[in-house]
Amino acid sequence: MDKEEQLVQELVNNALYRMDESTRMIKRSLEKVSDEELWSKPNASLNSIANLLLHLCGNISQYIISSLGETEDKRKRDAEFTTVGGLTKKELLQKLEETVDMAKRIIYDTDTEQFLKKRQVQGFTFSGVGIVLHAVEHYSYHTGQIAFWVKQLKNIDLGFYDGMDLNIKNKDS
């Protein structure tokens, strides 16, 4: 495998890892809230956890599935924030997992040429690398919001890294 292929593989591996990490954290967060709490908003300026889940599905679909995967963009962004019910926690989690799984397959199957190709998405111009970076970062950002909302609501530690020593010092592998 040449250096270019190694670099692409490293990008893919790390993007998939981070997406799995966000999914794991969201699932753990959702275990702590009811369907009713999922749709509640602390104030009119903030989104419910359910709206954030719909928003993540929309964003990942638009950036990865539609743009990088070169399929039709069917996103209805405003509905992600105006929806006020109608889906259970189980249904929302299933929708998120299906969206993320499809996106991961597309990332995994993307070749170097597609990672370098520039395209328009949501009014911005990004390469395939930029699209993946945006989607992974955006997923992580809203995962943090969901975790914060649950911690605030329940006054609990979600234990994302239970059993791990996060004080280990850096060293080369």
Tens of pLDDT, residues 61-93: 999 999 999 999 999 999 999 999 999 999 999
- pLDDT tens track for 105-148: 999 999 999 999 999 999 999 999 999 999 999 999 999 999 99
pTM of the model: 0.94
pLDDT for position 42 = 83
The CATH classification number of 3-154 equals 1.20.120.450
- CA 131 – CA 116 distance, rounded (Å): 10
Hunting for tokens 């945006």 — which residue is that? 134
Q: What is the pLDDT of residue 58?
A: 98
Give me the long-range contacts of 148-152 (CB less than 8 A, separation at least 24). Answer: 149/42, 149/49, 150/29, 150/30, 150/32, 150/33, 150/49, 152/42
